[in-house]
Structure 1
Amino acid sequence: MPTITLRLELHKPTKAKQDMYERMTEVNTAFANWLLNHPELNQATSKLFKEFSSQRFPSAVVNQTIREVKAQKKKQKAKKFRTFWCCFNNQNVKVEKKGAFYTVSFPTLEKRIGVPVVARPYQEAWLNRLLDGTAKQGAAKLYKKRKKWCLAIAITFDVKPRHETKVMGVDLGLRYIAVASVGTKSWFFKGNQCAFVRRRYAALRRTLGKAKKLQMIRKIGRKESRWMKDQNHKISRQIVNVALANGVGVIRMEELTGIRKRATSAKEAGRSLHSWAFHQLQTMIAYKAEMAGIRVEWVNPTYTSQTCKCGHREKANRNGICFRCQRCGYTLHADLNGAINIAKAISGFAS
């Protein structure tokens, strides 16, 4: 079942409530760090909190924190959590609609009450699905972002798989953000604007760095990330829409390992895309496809850009954006050739 995360902003919480959420976060972070070094973490229950502190704290948060710390300790390299937000399981969070407003209730240091949330139109559609039972609510997390308190709720839902047999290959790269191929049809998504914006931000960071304006560097970094995320959303939506319009049942993409090392010239357009969130774009394509009932398959990227349709494989076959087979003379745009090979999964599927 596909899962999405709905990020809801709490509607104008009072100063008292904000202070309470801050206290909850501080206590929970301290408790999580205490748990990391506890010898009996694997057998821990909510009763263990009394060992840590005598203050009152929601057992629902304690239990979820214990589960989260257990899960993260195996892959946690740092010996300390900087911030450990309060989490709740699906039984401890309730979504309701009162008049025209949506409210979400969850355990706090005080009594449990419904908190109004800011729901945008697309979020309202998901909240309505939770209320009518066509989607299931998962765990939730209370966190603060840019001075605003939000609640992130996981939502799972059923999707009817598409029975179409057409396969789309999607090649992600530096000169073109994405090239998609379905049969004899192809679509190119250029990276020119992205390259220009990244170069502009890089130059601005260098200037600010010389002036020691670190706060401004962080600020424009966040702005750049938001812009890139928006671009990824738009491109991934276009790709999935094209797939739906052309009867695609499967989208294949290559596992992108080492894509940042592919640029060979400092002048090529892709140079400023080294920090492009390729993984983010793939993730967006994958979850949007999954929501539409399209299956996603991952292909081994080895030699997809060097192999001709005649089967001949040679590094010299590709020269920049040009592909020309050294044996049969077949020519094509190199990225399109890669997308076609990915659709055929010529190198096999990734394990």
Structure 2
Amino acid sequence: MSQTITVKIKLLPTKEQKSILRKMSQSYISTINMLVSEMVDEKKSTKKSSKDISAFLPSAVKNQAIKDAKSVFKKARKSKFTTVPVLKKPVCIWNNQNYSFNSTHISMPIMIKGKAKKTPIRALLVDKDNRNFELLKHKLGTLRITRKSGKWIAQISVTIPTDEGTDGKVMGVDLGLKVPAVAVTDDEKVRFFGNGRQNKYMKRKFRTERKALGKKKKSNAIRSLEDKEQRWMKDQDHKVSRAIVDFAKDNDISVIRVEQLANIRQTAKTSRKNEKNLHTWSFYRLSQFIEYKANLAGIKVEYVDPAYTSQTCPKCAGKNQAQDRKYKCKCGFEKHRDIIGAMNIRYAPVVDGNSQSA
């Protein structure tokens, strides 16, 4: 089995390279939109080659633009031309035969003085744990370069082989605010992840700083602080998801079960003091990080119906409301509320119905 992921790498182009990439990205999108418009008018796919297209692009990139335009046209034809997509975000794409890289640069053909020349652009390919560079040793797909928040980003499609476990060991993971995550294996090993108290403190700190900046009408500083907060939250989710998957690997888990939290903001009961935290924390992102990292480790992720998982007694199946974080059943069974949730998630109905027995 295999999984296709996208490896994101920050680029550090020179001033001249930035100008070229900006012009090429705009030309790439304009070329696709032009070709799609022509194909829609003629109601048939184009037969043009790179020689027929006049654009500020190397021939290899023109060919990729033609390929992408045909793909957009197929979607439009499938909808009987009721919807014809018009691409707006500047981007430029090279296929896997037209770029290369080393530990410090990514090289691809760009337009230099009117001619295509393979040019190295400085890139942060080696991160602190060397993870990106290791991932790029697998089968490579297209290279996509785009600009986000003023920064140039290279996105490389990578296909990675994965081996699913076969021993059938299952682990349930309960996600929350006071305790970011709790995992329970089917042999009753328990682990808590993250620091809800610290997260709450940091969220309150960011909110207080934004309020102070708002009084001073420093809108740019507010935006910068919001970006900083989002980066911090994302980093917390990465750390928690990595720890969860490492715990699963250490215990030979083949299936991780997580709550399907699509409607958590509508269904979760929360106090007023936690409400702002709940509505700004991405539970979906954390679950996606868990799935992404688990799949790389050959571990399957299943989403389950979260109904009553924190209220049902694992011993007698009775329904009880937890008092704060303590759950106590009439049968005498007692546990931390979130541990109860994780225990029940192991056996809860899988959303798509395709599950491995726990």
Whether these two folds match at TM > 0.5 is yes
Q: In the alignment, which residue of structure 1 is the partner of 2:205?
A: 200
Alignment of 1:173 onto 2:176: yes
Identity rate, percent = 33
Instruction: Give TM-score scaled by structure 1 length.
Output: 0.82
- Check 1:161–1:216 CA distance in 2 against 1; reply closer, same or farther (3 A cut): same
CA-CA distance at 1:148 after TM superposition:
3.9
RMSD: 3.3
Matches within 5 A, 1:247-258: 247-258=252-263
5+ residue gaps in structure 2? 354-358
Q: In the alignment, which residue of structure 1 is the partner of 2:93?
A: 87
5+ residue gaps in structure 1? 130-134
CA-CA distance at 1:349 after TM superposition:
3.5
CA-CA distance at 1:201 after TM superposition:
1.2
SS of aligned partner of 2:116: coil
Q: Is the 8 A contact 1:44 1:66 kept in 2?
A: no
Q: In the alignment, which residue of structure 2 is the partner of 1:229?
A: 234
CA-CA distance at 1:264 after TM superposition:
2.5
Segment drifting more, 60-69 vs 173-182: 60-69
Q: Is the 8 A contact 1:65 1:86 kept in 2?
A: no
Alignment of 1:347 onto 2:353: no
CA-CA distance at 1:224 after TM superposition:
0.6
Of residues 141, 144, 158 in structure 2, which corresponds to 1:141? Answer: 144
- Check 1:24–1:72 CA distance in 2 against 1; reply closer, same or farther (3 A cut): farther
The 2-side partners of 1:41 and 1:280 are apart by 43
Q: Is the 8 A contact 2:7 2:155 kept in 1?
A: yes
Q: In the alignment, which residue of structure 1 is the partner of 2:6?
A: 5
Q: Deviations over 1:284-309 (max 9, x none)?
A: 11111111111111112222222222
CA-CA distance at 1:180 after TM superposition:
0.6
Q: Is the 8 A contact 1:198 1:273 kept in 2?
A: no
Segment drifting more, 28-37 vs 276-285: 28-37
Q: In the alignment, which residue of structure 2 is the partner of 1:17?
A: 17
The 2-side partners of 1:273 and 1:223 are apart by 18
CA-CA distance at 1:156 after TM superposition:
0.8
Q: In the alignment, which residue of structure 2 is the partner of 1:290?
A: 295
Q: Deviations over 1:105-147 (max 9, x none)?
A: 24557314042443213333233x2xxxxx1111221112454
Amino acid at match of 1:333: H
Q: Is the 8 A contact 1:28 1:84 kept in 2?
A: yes
Q: Deviations over 1:181-240 (max 9, x none)?
A: 112211112311111111111222233233332211211111011111111111111111
- Check 1:292–1:200 CA distance in 2 against 1; reply closer, same or farther (3 A cut): same
Q: In the alignment, which residue of structure 2 is the partner of 1:219?
A: 224
Alignment of 1:123 onto 2:129: no
Q: Is the 8 A contact 2:325 2:338 kept in 1?
A: yes
Alignment of 1:267 onto 2:273: yes
Instruction: Give TM-score scaled by structure 2 length.
Output: 0.80
SS of aligned partner of 2:131: helix
- Check 1:204–1:115 CA distance in 2 against 1; reply closer, same or farther (3 A cut): same
Segment drifting more, 236-245 vs 59-68: 59-68
CA-CA distance at 1:160 after TM superposition:
2.5
Alignment of 1:184 onto 2:184: no
The 1-side partners of 2:328 and 2:75 are apart by 49
Alignment of 1:210 onto 2:219: no
How many residue pairs get aligned? The number is 335
SS of aligned partner of 1:225: helix
- Check 1:294–1:14 CA distance in 2 against 1; reply closer, same or farther (3 A cut): same
- Check 1:332–1:41 CA distance in 2 against 1; reply closer, same or farther (3 A cut): farther
Q: Is the 8 A contact 2:20 2:110 kept in 1?
A: no
The 2-side partners of 1:148 and 1:111 are apart by 24
- Check 1:68–1:145 CA distance in 2 against 1; reply closer, same or farther (3 A cut): farther
The 1-side partners of 2:66 and 2:110 are apart by 12
